[in-house]
Amino acid sequence: MEFLQPRSLPDALAIMAERPDAVPIAGGTDVMVELNFDRRRPEAILDLTRVPELGAWDRSDGGVRVGAGVTYTRAIAELAGDLPGLAIAARTVGSPQIRNRGTIGGNLGSASPAGDCHPPLLAVGAEVEVASAGGARRVPIDEFFTGPKQSALEPDELICAVHLPAATGPQQFAKIGTRNAMVIAVCSFGLALDPAGGRVGTGIGSAGPTPLRAGEAEEFLEGVLSSEDLWSSRAPLGEAAVARFGELVAAAARPIDDVRGTAAYRSHALGVLARRTLGWAWDEHRTGRS
């Protein structure tokens, strides 16, 4: 095995052009488990922790560009104002030790259906910035996940950053697990309300071959909120509308039975999470308090 440790993004991309078989590693929270358990023996491993371009985030054009190497701990500490949904999801990841090392780019690279960052990214329509030695491109998050642990990333590409709009309204995330810490989600749900644009965004985790959006639920709730002028009146949501939103989210999932839970349980729990997060988010919209 070769250990490659580039000191700049161009150097890292040049290595990937020559060695597309190299396995990138950042926080190691997924890759090291595979190495430690003899599940993977790559010919080369590419350490990204010394690539300074990946560790930065900045605001631009009303949005935030989050470098792939930003850890969950930093997302919680530094991005909760601009990107509350992502920060809440980051807070549910693992333990302090894991959040200190694990990165947003690594979560995307692993492309697990259960990745905690994915629902909030789906809910705001994020774009993933990937690059090869030939140049950079942006992949809409809806097109990024192509299957279980599979993504649109080409073998010679690296994930450089993710672009998200700054929040204009309440965002929420919730997940189900056997305890509050150190769990892979049985299922999870992210919600983003955009009062300025009249938009509702959703993301479902761990209840399908990829993270999913609940498009019908989004359209339904947008219709209710605009036709009843609720965005500006800030009146309470009707129980029937909240219940229907939960049903549509549950219906959008494509869960399976596995060691963490049954498909039926996941669908049921997603309906609960959808209603619950909508309640929290709408309360925040009504009162202005998070």
Partner 1 sequence: MRVSCTINGEPRHADDVWEGESLLYVLRERLGLPGSKNACEQGECGSCSVYLDGVLVCACLVLAGQAEGSEVVTVEGLAAGDDLHPVQEAFVEAGAVQCGFCTPGLIVATHDLLARNPSPTDPEIREALAGNLCRCTGYEKVLDAVRLAAGRGLWTATGDPSGRGLPSRSGAPGTRGGDDAGPRAGEAGT
Residues 6 or more apart in contact with residue 23 via CB below 8 angstroms: 31, 40, 42, 44, 45, 46
Of 14, 63, 76, 209, which one interacts with partner 1 (CB under 8 A)? 76
Return the structure tokens found at 283: 């309360």
Among 6, 11, 14, 55, binds partner 1 (CB under 8 A): 55
Residue with Cβ nearer partner 1 (24 or 201): 24
Reference 75, options 52, 110, 105, 45; nearest CA is: 105
Kindly tell me the sign of the dihedral angle through the C-alpha atoms of 66, 68, 74, 76.
Answer: positive
Sign of the torsion formed by the C-alpha atoms of 218, 220, 223 and 227: negative
77 binds partner 1 (CB under 8 A): yes
98 binds partner 1 (CB under 8 A): yes
Shortest distance, position 201 Cβ to partner 1, whole Å: 17
**Which of 6, 11, 14, 100 lies at the binding interface for partner 1 (CB under 8 A)?**
100
- Residue 230, token pair as written in the block: 């609720």
Here the tokens at position 163 are 């672009």
Q: Could you give phi then psi for residue 141, rounded to 5 degrees? A: -60, -30
Site for partner 1 in 149-208 (CB under 8 A): 172-173, 180-182
Residues that bind partner 1 (CB under 8 A): 1-3, 5, 25, 27-29, 31-33, 35-37, 41, 45, 47, 49-59, 65, 67, 69, 71, 74, 76-78, 80-81, 84, 87-88, 90-91, 94-98, 100-101, 172-173, 180-182, 290
